[in-house]
């Protein structure tokens, strides 16, 4: 009899744990970016910081490459996160 079902269950358990960790890490990241948004709004700074975003994209692409992850995927992911952060910052600025 094959051990595939047991191995599949083990791998899926690992995937589920990693997904949970990712959600918690993203929640922590967004807590930080919400605080940044409040600071920027209080200081009259714009919601977006294109120079910072460009540096973050380059940094994440390099990290992805070092980790054996497709840098294009990493860039798409961080662009999605950045867009959400900017949306939050715009909402905070308009309060």
pLDDT greater than 70 at residue 80: yes
Query: How far apart are alpha carbons 27 and 60 in whole angstroms?
Result: 18
Count: domains in the chain:
1
Cβ-proximal residues to 85 (8 Å cutoff; 6+ apart), any chain: 30, 33, 37
Range of the domain at 85: 4-93
Q: What is the pLDDT of residue 82?
A: 96
Q: Residue length, the chain?
A: 95
Q: Residue 37 is part of a domain; what is its CATH number?
A: 1.20.59.10
Could you report the per-residue pLDDT of 20-76, keeping only the tens digit for each? 999 999 999 999 999 999 999 999 999 999 999 999 999 999 999 999 999 999 999
Query: How far apart are alpha carbons 28 and 88 in whole angstroms?
Result: 15
3-state secondary structure the chain: CCCHHHHHHHHHHHHHHHHHHHHHHHHHHHHHHHHHHHHHHHCCCCCCCHHHHHHHHHHHHHHHHHHCCCHHHHHHHHHHHHHHHHHHHHHHHCC
């Amino acid at each position: 009899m094959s051990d595939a079902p047991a191995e599949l269950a083990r791998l899926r358990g690992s995937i589920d744990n990693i997904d949970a960790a990712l959600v918690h890490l993203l929640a922590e990241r967004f807590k930080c970016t919400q605080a940044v948004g409040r600071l920027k709004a209080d200081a009259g700074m714009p919601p977006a910081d294109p120079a910072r975003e460009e540096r973050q994209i380059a940094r994440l692409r390099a990290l992805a490459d070092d980790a054996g992850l497709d840098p294009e995927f990493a860039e798409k992911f961080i662009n999605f996160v950045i867009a959400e952060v900017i949306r939050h910052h715009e909402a905070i600025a308009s309060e």
